[in-house]
């Protein structure tokens, strides 16, 4: 399935959320009625009230397993537009989901300006995007990419940290051993924004902003999951505003 020309919304150069609402409601029903009963087990979801009821936001997750974004989409009350590597469209069977949802495809290993513009269109339309800043799956946090700081600074959208744990081994059928072990745990944290900068942040400043945002996410995870962000005191939070 080719993504070279992008989704219909991206080809038009604007984002029409209403056009996709009905389709996404059907897909969410399928996540709830099929995926959560057959492919993955969710044990707990905390802090959903922290997700803004209206307006733009950037949901920031850690990325352990392929199913992480789908599970987060399913447990949060608003229809969210994830960014995902373009290879996700090519996964057999499961690759149909990002195509139907109209996920924003991202080309890794480069600054994907088209993906950034598409994400900004969604935010300026007052909707939510989902970003895994690490850009890859790993059991522990890896260094986040600066794109999340760029988008948050440029649009003023709050970042909502969402900690994901227990997704290893999913998707898996209930008859298999994975279902006999603890399931998925989701924690939604308090939203925050980056404090206003006196001038356009350069790459070093974006790096610092990203690391502090990732530090918030790390603090919500068990110590064994924090990876390169294990030293929380070193990261600081002076660039963040939780007000």
| The 3-state secondary structure of the chain, one letter per residue | CCCCCCCHHHHHCCCCHHHHHHHHHHHHHHHHHHHHHHHCCEEEEECHHHCCCCCCEEEEECCCCCCHHHHHHHHCCCCEEEEEEHHHHHCCCCCHHHHHHCCEEECCCCCCHHHHHHHHHHHHCCCEEEECCCCCCCCCCCCCCCHHHHHHHHHCCCEEEEEEECCCCCCCCCCCHHHHCCCEEEEECCCEEECCCCCCCCHHHHHHHHHHHHHHHHHCCCHHHCHHHCCHHHHCCCCEECC
Task: Please give the pLDDT value at position 87.
Answer: 86
Q: Residue 113, class by beta-carbon neighbours within 10 Å (0-12 exposed, 13-18 middle, 19+ buried)? A: exposed
Task: Please give the pLDDT value at position 63.
Answer: 97
Which pLDDT tens digit goes with each residue over 160-194? 999 999 999 999 999 999 999 999 999 999 999 99
Each domain of the chain, given as residue ranges in start order, spans 44-167+182-241
CA–CA dist 63, 140 (Å, integer): 8
Task: Please give the pLDDT value at position 2.
Answer: 38
Which pLDDT tens digit goes with each residue over 146-163? 999 999 999 999 999 999
Which pLDDT tens digit goes with each residue over 60-114? 999 999 999 999 999 999 999 999 988 887 888 778 899 999 999 998 777 789 9
Q: Are strands 57-61 and 42-46 parallel, antiparallel or unpaired?
A: unpaired
User: In angstroms, how far is the first alpha carbon of the chain from the final one?
Assistant: 44
Does domain 44-167+182-241 fall under CATH 3.40.1130.10? My reply is yes
Which pLDDT tens digit goes with each residue over 190-233? 999 999 888 899 999 999 999 999 999 999 999 999 999 999 99
Evaluate whether 159 touches 61 at the Cβ level (below 8 Å): no
Q: What is the pTM of this model?
A: 0.91
Which pLDDT tens digit goes with each residue over 7-57? 444 444 578 989 999 999 999 999 998 899 898 999 999 999 999 999 999
């Amino acid at each position: 399935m080719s993504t070279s020309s992008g989704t219909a919304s991206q080809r038009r150069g604007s984002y029409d959320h209403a056009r996709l609402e009905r389709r996404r409601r059907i897909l969410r029903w399928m996540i709830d009625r099929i995926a959560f009963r057959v492919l993955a087990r969710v044990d707990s979801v905390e802090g959903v009230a922290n997700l803004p009821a209206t307006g733009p936001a950037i949901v920031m997750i850690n990325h352990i397993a392929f199913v992480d974004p789908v599970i987060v989409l399913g447990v949060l009350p608003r229809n969210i537009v994830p960014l995902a590597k373009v290879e996700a469209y090519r996964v057999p069977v499961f690759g149909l989901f990002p195509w139907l949802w109209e996920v924003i495809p991202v080309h890794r290993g480069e600054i994907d300006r088209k993906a950034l513009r598409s994400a900004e269109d969604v935010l300026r339309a007052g909707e939510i995007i989902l970003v895994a800043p690490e850009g890859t799956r790993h059991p522990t946090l890896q260094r986040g990419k600066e794109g999340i700081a760029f988008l948050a600074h440029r649009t003023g959208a709050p970042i909502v940290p969402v900690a994901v744990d227990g997704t290893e081994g999913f998707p898996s059928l209930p008859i298999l051993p994975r279902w006999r072990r603890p399931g998925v745990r989701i924690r939604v944290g308090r939203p925050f924004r980056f404090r206003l900068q006196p001038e356009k942040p350069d790459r070093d400043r974006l790096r610092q902003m990203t690391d502090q945002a990732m530090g918030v996410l790390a603090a919500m995870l068990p110590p064994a999951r924090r990876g390169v962000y294990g030293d929380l005191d070193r990261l600081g939070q002076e660039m963040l505003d939780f007000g």
